[in-house]
C-alpha cells in the first residue's frame, strides 16, 4: 500500500488530489494523510496545524505525531498548499507576509518533512507558479516573491539530491491560474475558461505517484 502525504489537503486543489488518489488507487491501494489548518474529509488521516503557534512549533508537533506512527515513511509528499494574494507597492506589508506564510512556508514544510520521512525512491512535488517563473507580478508582489522563492527551493534540492533519501525525485509544478472558487472571487474580471482545472493537475500528480516511470525528467513542469 502506498502512503501519500498531502500538504494543503483541505484546500480546493488538495481535496481534488486526495479524491483522485482514492478513485485511481482505491482505499486498499493507498493511505492518505493531510496536513492543514482544518480537517480534510477526503483524507484517511488528518494532521492539524495550529495557526496560533509559531511555524517552528507547528513543525515540531507534526514531526512528533509522525514519529509515533509504526511506519513513519511516505512514498510521496505532495505540496499543494497556498493561494493567490494580490497587492503591489503601496498596499502595505500584510499581503507579503501572508503570501510567504501561505506559499513559501508550506513548501518548505513539505521539503523538510521529505528530508526525514520520504521513502527511498520517493517523490516530492512542490507548487510554484508559471506567472512568477519568467516575469514579474506587479499586481501581486508578495505572491510573486513567495513563488520565486519556492522555485529557488526546488532548485536547491535538485542541485543536491543527497538532501532527500536515495533515488528520490523532486518536481516543481508551474500552474497557470487554477480554476478555484477563491481565485474566481479574487479575479472576477478574468476569462475563467482559460484557467487550468484542478482535476487536470490532480491527474498529473496522481500519475506520478502511481507510476514512477511517468515522472518527468525536468525539474519544472508546466501544468
Catalytic residue numbers read: 143
Neighbours of 166 (CB within 10 A): 10
3-state SS assignment for residue 210: helix
| C-alpha to C-alpha distance for 53 and 136, rounded to whole angstroms | 32
Name, in order, each residue with C-beta under 8 angstroms of 145's C-beta and a sequence gap of 6 or more: 96, 99, 100
Burial class (CB in 10 A: 0-12, 13-18, 19+), 48: middle
Strands in 118-127's sheet, in edge-to-edge order, are 45-48, 30-36, 2-7, 74-79, 118-127, 169-174, 220-222
| 87 Ramachandran zone, left/alpha/beta (phi>0; psi -120 to 50) | left
Please list the residues that pair with 123 across neighbouring strands.
76, 169
Amino acid at each position: 500500500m502506498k502512503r501519500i502525504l498531502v500538504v494543503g489537503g483541505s484546500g480546493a486543489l488538495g481535496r481534488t488530489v486526495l479524491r483522485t488518489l482514492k478513485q485511481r488507487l482505491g482505499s486498499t491501494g493507498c493511505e492518505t494523510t493531510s496536513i492543514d489548518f482544518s480537517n480534510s474529509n477526503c483524507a484517511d488521516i488528518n494532521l492539524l496545524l495550529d495557526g496560533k503557534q509559531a511555524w517552528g512549533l507547528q513543525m515540531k508537533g507534526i514531526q512528533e505525531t509522525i514519529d509515533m506512527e509504526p511506519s513513519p515513511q511516505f512514498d510521496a509528499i505532495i505540496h499543494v498548499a497556498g493561494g493567490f494574494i494580490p497587492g503591489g507597492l503601496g498596499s502595505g506589508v500584510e499581503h507579503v507576509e501572508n503570501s510567504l506564510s501561505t506559499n513559501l512556508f508550506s513548501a518548505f514544510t513539505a521539503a523538510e518533512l521529505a528530508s526525514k520521512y520520504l521513502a527511498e525512491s520517493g517523490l516530492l512535488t512542490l507548487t510554484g507558479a508559471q506567472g512568477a517563473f519568467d516575469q514579474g507580478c506587479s499586481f501581486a508582489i508578495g505572491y510573486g516573491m513567495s513563488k520565486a522563492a519556492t522555485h529557488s527551493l526546488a532548485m536547491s534540492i535538485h542541485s543536491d539530491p543527497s538532501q532527500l533519501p536515495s533515488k528520490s525525485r523532486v518536481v516543481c509544478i508551474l500552474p497557470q491560474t487554477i480554476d478555484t472558487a477563491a481565485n474566481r472571487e479574487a479575479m472576477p474580471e478574468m476569462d475563467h475558461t482559460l484557467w487550468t482545472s484542478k482535476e487536470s493537475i490532480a491527474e498529473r500528480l496522481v500519475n506520478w505517484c502511481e507510476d514512477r516511470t511517468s515522472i518527468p525528467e525536468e525539474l519544472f513542469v508546466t501544468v
